[in-house]
Amino acid sequence: MEPIDVVKSAYDAILSKGDLEGFLACFADDGVLLEADSLPYGGRFTGRDAIRGAMLKVIDTYSAFSFTPDVFTTSGEWVIAYGTFSVTARTTGKSVSFPLAEVSQVVGGKIKLIHPVYGDTAAIVEALR
């Protein structure tokens, strides 16, 4: 499977099917998720169990979330998806939407690194208040 297909498969699992285990299956055993430290689920998460914990926090934080990629670009083992990220805060009901670029590295058919680069983390923090 090409790197772009691995990333698209991961997105399909979590975003279209709500299949967290299917999403995690796309990761290498030592895969890394990097989330912005300013977010309630921020930090560096290494390994499927740690990534599962982070994703459960994401799911707990929002009553709804989506990422709609408009563009994918690749170079070797790197994939960048650029599109619109939309969330609704579970605690306040406030919704925000803004650009997101997600950078992924795929090695040996598995995601080794995924790093969302948010267009506006301050908007998320504000929506959670």
pLDDT digits (tens, 9 = 90+) for 1-60: 899 999 999 999 999 999 999 999 999 999 999 999 999 999 999 999 999 999 999 999
pLDDT of res. 70: 96
CB atoms within 10 A of CB 73: 11
Amino acid sitting at position 9:
S
78-116 b/e (C-beta count within 10 Å ≥ 16 → b): ebbbbbebbbbbeeeeeebeeebbbbbbbeeebbbbbbb
**Residue 86 · residue 69 · CB < 8 Å:** no
117 forms beta bridges with 101
pLDDT digits (tens, 9 = 90+) for 96-113: 999 999 999 999 999 999
